[in-house]
Chain A
Amino acid sequence: MAGSNPNAKPMNLTLKVWRQKNRISEGGIVDYKVKDISPDMSFLEMLDVLNEDLLRQGQEPVAFDHDCREGICGSCNLFINGRAHGPEQGTTTCQLHMRKFSDGDTITIEPWRASAFPLNKDLSVDRSAFDRIIQAGGYVSINTGGTPDANEIPIPKNIADRAFEAATCIGCGACVAACKNASAMLFVSAKVSQLALLPQGHVERKTRVENMVAQMDKEGFGACTNIGSCAAECPVGISLENIATLNQEFLSAKATSNNLA
């Protein structure tokens, strides 16, 4: 059964995959060959083929995180040929298809590398630092019930749209993986911008940005040096402007708060 491109020929590939048993053991690159890969396969389906082969031979399959395979859950996180989520711009690993590669290619597959994302096994890393940053302030402090009618506060469409754009971050961590400093500024700035733009978020604007940035630092993410790799590699196109907003929000919060630490 061919898909959209009946002329596309199956491919044979060499994979160089990072294997590491657990956080404390030593890891390394292992070479595998995969055969008859259809160009219509997704990258993860190609890894499924490898894993089925390995398991049938009694070897441990390669561990990697994935779930929705629709580019929205943010689970998948492979560093492919030196790029977060691989060669296709604006695309998560799960939405990358093998038609972007050629027969005979060698593909290197590594995990996200950042000290704030410790490794679990093979290609799976721990991104709970992102959760802790959101827990530090990435919300509006309201309880369930007792909220005003949804149309009570009109929000200009352009503002709502900008907030939406920032809110589309999928929390995959590609920004951190792409950054030479392993900075999480793009991730943090997306949430800060979304809530700073909306009237609902204004009440806690200052404490939010201070607390989220403090947590970001505590987790061990690096500093931002305005290179822009994060935005260039972001699969959902979170804009670098958000980092400018974050800096602005942070400075104005610090300048007017009592917390000058």
Chain B
Amino acid sequence: MVLDSKLPEGPIAEKWEKHKFNVKLVNPSNKRKYDIIVVGTGLAGASAAASLAELGYNVKAFTFHDSPRRAHSIAAQGGINAAKNYQNDGDSVYRLFYDTVKGGDYRSREANVYRLAQVSVNIIDQCVAQGVPFAREYGGLLANRSFGGAQVSRTFYARGQTGQQLLLGAYSALSRQVAYGKVKLYTRSEMLDLVTVDGQARGIITRNLLTGEIEQHAAHAVVLATGGYGNVFFLSTNAMYCNATAAWRAHKKGAYFANPCFTQIHPTCIPVSGDYQSKLTLMSESLRNDGRVWVPATKETAERLRKGEINVNDIAEADRDYFLERKYPAFGNLVPRDVASRNAKLMCDEGKGVGSTGLAVYLDFADVIKRTSAEAVSQKYGNLFDMYAKITGENPYERPMRIYPAVHYTMGGLWVDYNLQTTVKGLYATGECNFSDHGANRLGASALMQGLADGYFVIPYTIGDYLASTPPKPVTTEDPAFAEATAAVQARVQQMMSINGTRTPDDFHKKLGNLMWEYCGMSRNAEGLRYAKKEIQQLKKEFWSDLKLAGTELEMNQALEKAGRVADFIELGELMVDDALDRNESCGGHFREEYQTPEGEALRNDDDYAYVAAWEYVGENQPEKLNKEELTFENVKLTQRSYK
């Protein structure tokens, strides 16, 4: 299959406008004859479900949570970018586009990113109209702050809880449509398979997480807004329930999976404290606006510090190495995430790490507290400081925070064309679930932007193009494809229940996570990846022969839920390794040790790897087939990324 990204013709600034004119429309009175399934109710899903229902379509929205408001978008802290240029500091749609393509290390599609920058301004208008209480200046206008990878202030925020406020806005719009009867909401329902009829997405199979019942749902189109797959690593900043099952099931039904090895490691997370650790907590990147990152200048000082022989606040200025400021004077502490993370790891590898494990660097607020006041700092970051204190038992107003990189976001995802349609007709993917806009590295405050752009302003236009060419006949679950998919899902559930081995789902998940972090994490090499692949294949065998569960499948059974997700993580983990092994270059979040500049920066290979790797599932236990979408850059000049 040749990948057709369906990019519109014409100059980049006119593509979206032209495309909106060229797409087919469904006339208003026909819209109510179409049913659309939206899976996931985070920013991308809730905004899509609400907007599609407002247009007149019948929407069925699914979440495995007890309420749409629990989706992990809620945990995003720092903010949302938009090219409003309210600060008069030289921002523009073009600059946001440029920064995003560059920040993504030139592995994203220009046209998609440009559209994202264009609609970013509408998102802010939309959210404010909903009553989202963004931070404001004393004059009553909206406030902005700056974020990593940008030299303008374009980030809108609501203290450290921007994701929460945006999600509650989308949730309110969704709730309104539920009240109108245009959205039927299915909570505690987990999608376990996609149903295709004649190559077109026609519905999903779900499991009711309270009763264990397997249910069938039909529609004219299916939108997956099911988030990312960071939990492949076991430890990540994702919520405990974040999983890849819906996307992975769709992948096995024909949707290509793009750039799975592009995972983002966030530089400012609270370090691991013990083996019992269940997840990691992010400290918003916005902290790097005022916090200074450092380690002791020498290994010896670091060692004495770790042993408790000296106190962090007693280390003289001259004995500290503010390594980001030293190496990247232009961007300093605000270099993009991948650069900041790699440098933190480098310092720890050199033995200069701090904390009892030596796997942490300092993020210090002493300067800004001296320059302004503890109160001013609390105004800006109060809730983040409180959270840090609760988790670590330390007071960040008095001693620097300890931070270490952690898996945070996955740029890879289901391959989609310009319309956000996957390689399965009628199946769309939005938000983190797709691969489209962030290339090999996502800039801070751009995830919220993309989720809402896709849901509010892209999918409502593009899905009509598909539906207009689909007859408005009612769809039902009568096609044998539904019975087949249901039987397969039931068989899989029963198989897991009947293994009766000795190891828990978490046990397998931790093992997988260790392998992925060690060999497919912040830096990778061919030898390690080959080793990891073998180990993962072995782990898969062990999973299907030694899994231990309890209870039955016909009741609330959280261990069973977890087992199904882990089984999919294992398969996806192997594909991530394959992808990382195929990409013989370093770019963005993908750092292959064999490919670096003499200064240790990522060394891209644009001649051979300026493509999207779209993997095609061909059968159980068979190597996936690589399809390439070549990326062409007509507007942005490919350069070695430099933040010096």
Whether B255 is near chain A, meaning CB under 8 Å from some CB there, is: no
Interface pairs (28), CB distance under 8 Å: A54-B550, A59-B550, A60-B551, A61-B558, A63-B556, A68-B75, A69-B281, A70-B75, A71-B387, A73-B69, A73-B75, A90-B386, A126-B66, A131-B185, A134-B172, A135-B179, A139-B172, A140-B129, A143-B51, A143-B54, A144-B460, A148-B129, A150-B124, A150-B125, A157-B137, A160-B134, A164-B159, A167-B158
Contact string, B392-406, partner A, CB cutoff 8 A, digits 1/0? 111000000000000
Instruction: A157 to B125: give the CA distance in the assembly, Å.
Output: 18
Q: Knowing that A1-B357, A73-B239, A154-B140 touch, tell me 20 more A-B residue pairs with CB under 8 angstroms.
A: A4-B393, A6-B308, A55-B550, A61-B550, A67-B70, A70-B282, A72-B75, A72-B161, A73-B74, A75-B66, A88-B390, A135-B178, A139-B173, A141-B176, A142-B129, A145-B122, A147-B129, A150-B129, A150-B134, A201-B131
- The answer, among B51, B74, B140, for a CB contact under 8 Å with A156, is B140
Whether A194 is near chain B, meaning CB under 8 Å from some CB there, is: yes
Q: Within 8 Å CB of B391, what residues of A? A: 42, 95, 97
Instruction: A168 to B417: give the CA distance in the assembly, Å.
Output: 37
Interface segment, one of B270-278, B311-319, B564-572? B270-278
Contact string, A44-82, partner B, CB cutoff 8 A, digits 1/0? 110011011011101111010111111111110000000
Q: A144-B173, A200-B131 are in contact. Are A2 and B274 (CB under 8 A)?
A: yes
Contact string, A116-136, partner B, CB cutoff 8 A, digits 1/0? 000011001011101100111
In the complex the two chains form, is A147's CB within 8 Å of B128's CB? yes
Q: Within 8 Å CB of A69, what residues of B? A: 239-240, 278-279, 281
The 6 tightest CB contacts between A and B, nearest first, are: A154-B140, A3-B273, A139-B172, A147-B129, A164-B133, A150-B128
Instruction: A137 to B308: give the CA distance in the assembly, Å.
Output: 56
Contact string, B39-82, partner A, CB cutoff 8 A, digits 1/0? 00000000100110010000000000111111110110000000
Whether A91 is near chain B, meaning CB under 8 Å from some CB there, is: yes
In the complex the two chains form, is B125's CB within 8 Å of A131's CB? no
- The answer, among A6, A126, A201, for a CB contact under 8 Å with B356, is A6
Contact string, B550-566, partner A, CB cutoff 8 A, digits 1/0? 11000111110000000
Which chain B residues in 183-242 approach chain A with CB under 8 Å?
Answer: 185, 187, 210, 239-241
Interface-central residue, A68, A74, A130, A142, by most chain B CB under 10 Å: A68
Q: Within 8 Å CB of A120, what residues of B? A: 210, 556
Instruction: A153 to B139: give the CA distance in the assembly, Å.
Output: 11
Instruction: A10 to B556: give the CA distance in the assembly, Å.
Output: 32
In the complex the two chains form, is B131's CB within 8 Å of A41's CB? no
Whether B165 is near chain A, meaning CB under 8 Å from some CB there, is: yes
Contact string, B119-136, partner A, CB cutoff 8 A, digits 1/0? 000101111111111111
In the complex the two chains form, is B133's CB within 8 Å of A3's CB? no
Whether B141 is near chain A, meaning CB under 8 Å from some CB there, is: yes
Instruction: A151 to B134: give the CA distance in the assembly, Å.
Output: 11
In the complex the two chains form, is A52's CB within 8 Å of B506's CB? yes
Instruction: A1 to B271: give the CA distance in the assembly, Å.
Output: 11
In the complex the two chains form, is B504's CB within 8 Å of A194's CB? no
In the complex the two chains form, is A22's CB within 8 Å of B555's CB? yes
- The answer, among B71, B84, B130, for a CB contact under 8 Å with A142, is B130
Whether A149 is near chain B, meaning CB under 8 Å from some CB there, is: yes
In the complex the two chains form, is A135's CB within 8 Å of B281's CB? no
Whether A214 is near chain B, meaning CB under 8 Å from some CB there, is: no
In the complex the two chains form, is B176's CB within 8 Å of A144's CB? no
Q: A1-B356, A151-B142 are in contact. Are A167 and B74 (CB under 8 A)?
A: no
Whether A244 is near chain B, meaning CB under 8 Å from some CB there, is: no
Q: How many whole Å from A41's CB to the nearest CB in chain B?
A: 5
Whether B549 is near chain A, meaning CB under 8 Å from some CB there, is: yes
In the complex the two chains form, is A3's CB within 8 Å of B390's CB? no
In the complex the two chains form, is B176's CB within 8 Å of A55's CB? no
Contact string, A196-210, partner B, CB cutoff 8 A, digits 1/0? 001011000000000
Q: Within 8 Å CB of A59, what residues of B? A: 550
- The answer, among A42, A49, A71, A164, for a CB contact under 8 Å with B158, is A164
Q: Within 8 Å CB of B67, what residues of A? A: 127-128, 130-131, 171
In the complex the two chains form, is A58's CB within 8 Å of B548's CB? yes
In the complex the two chains form, is A75's CB within 8 Å of B70's CB? yes
Contact string, A78-120, partner B, CB cutoff 8 A, digits 1/0? 0000000000101100010101000000000000000000001
Q: Within 8 Å CB of B138, what residues of A? A: 157
Q: Within 8 Å CB of A90, what residues of B? A: 386
B residues lining the A interface (CB < 8 Å): 47, 50-51, 54, 65-72, 74-75, 84, 86, 122, 124-142, 158-159, 161, 163-165, 168, 171-173, 175-176, 178-179, 185, 187, 210, 239-241, 272-279, 281-282, 308, 356-357, 386-387, 390-394, 456-457, 460, 502, 504, 506-507, 548-551, 555-559
Q: Within 8 Å CB of B132, what residues of A? A: 167
Which chain A residues in 1-41 approach chain B with CB under 8 Å?
Answer: 1-6, 21-22, 38, 40-41
Q: How many residues on chain A are close to B (CB under 8 Å)? A: 85
Q: Within 8 Å CB of B66, what residues of A? A: 65, 75, 126-128
Q: Within 8 Å CB of B274, what residues of A? A: 1-3, 38, 40-41
Interface-central residue, B175, B282, B394, B549, by most chain A CB under 10 Å: B175
Q: How many whole Å from A151's CB to the nearest CB in chain B?
A: 5
Instruction: A44 to B279: give the CA distance in the assembly, Å.
Output: 11
In the complex the two chains form, is B392's CB within 8 Å of A3's CB? yes
In the complex the two chains form, is A149's CB within 8 Å of B506's CB? no
Across the two chains, which residue of chain B brings its CB closest to A48?
B278
Whether A177 is near chain B, meaning CB under 8 Å from some CB there, is: no
In the complex the two chains form, is A144's CB within 8 Å of B457's CB? yes
Whether A155 is near chain B, meaning CB under 8 Å from some CB there, is: yes
Q: Within 8 Å CB of A143, what residues of B? A: 51, 54
Whether A238 is near chain B, meaning CB under 8 Å from some CB there, is: no
Q: Within 8 Å CB of A148, what residues of B? A: 125, 129
Q: Within 8 Å CB of A45, what residues of B? A: 276-278
Instruction: A51 to B549: give the CA distance in the assembly, Å.
Output: 11
Across the two chains, which residue of chain A brings its CB closest to B504?
A55
Instruction: A93 to B138: give the CA distance in the assembly, Å.
Output: 36
In the complex the two chains form, is B125's CB within 8 Å of A147's CB? yes
Whether A195 is near chain B, meaning CB under 8 Å from some CB there, is: yes
Instruction: A130 to B456: give the CA distance in the assembly, Å.
Output: 25
In the complex the two chains form, is B84's CB within 8 Å of A138's CB? no
In the complex the two chains form, is B278's CB within 8 Å of A42's CB? yes
In the complex the two chains form, is B550's CB within 8 Å of A60's CB? yes
- The answer, among A42, A74, A151, for a CB contact under 8 Å with B141, is A151
Q: How many whole Å from B559's CB to the nearest CB in chain A?
A: 6
Q: How many whole Å from B136's CB to the nearest CB in chain A?
A: 4
Whether A175 is near chain B, meaning CB under 8 Å from some CB there, is: no
Instruction: A158 to B466: give the CA distance in the assembly, Å.
Output: 47
Q: How many whole Å from B464's CB to the nearest CB in chain A?
A: 14
In the complex the two chains form, is A198's CB within 8 Å of B131's CB? yes
Interface-central residue, A5, A54, A99, A144, by most chain B CB under 10 Å: A144
Q: Within 8 Å CB of A176, what residues of B? A: none
Instruction: A143 to B506: give the CA distance in the assembly, Å.
Output: 43
Contact string, A165-179, partner B, CB cutoff 8 A, digits 1/0? 001101100000000
Whether A231 is near chain B, meaning CB under 8 Å from some CB there, is: no
Across the two chains, which residue of chain A brings its CB closest to B76?
A72
Q: Within 8 Å CB of B127, what residues of A? A: 150
Whether A163 is near chain B, meaning CB under 8 Å from some CB there, is: yes
Q: Within 8 Å CB of B71, what residues of A? A: 73
Instruction: A67 to B42: give the CA distance in the assembly, Å.
Output: 13
Across the two chains, which residue of chain A brings its CB closest to B173?
A139
Across the two chains, which residue of chain B brings its CB closest to A91?
B390
Across the two chains, which residue of chain B brings its CB closest to A170?
B164
Q: How many whole Å from B362's CB to the nearest CB in chain A?
A: 14
In the complex the two chains form, is B70's CB within 8 Å of A73's CB? yes
In the complex the two chains form, is A134's CB within 8 Å of B175's CB? yes
Instruction: A140 to B131: give the CA distance in the assembly, Å.
Output: 7
Instruction: A71 to B239: give the CA distance in the assembly, Å.
Output: 11
- The answer, among B142, B178, B275, B278, for a CB contact under 8 Å with A150, is B142
Instruction: A154 to B67: give the CA distance in the assembly, Å.
Output: 33
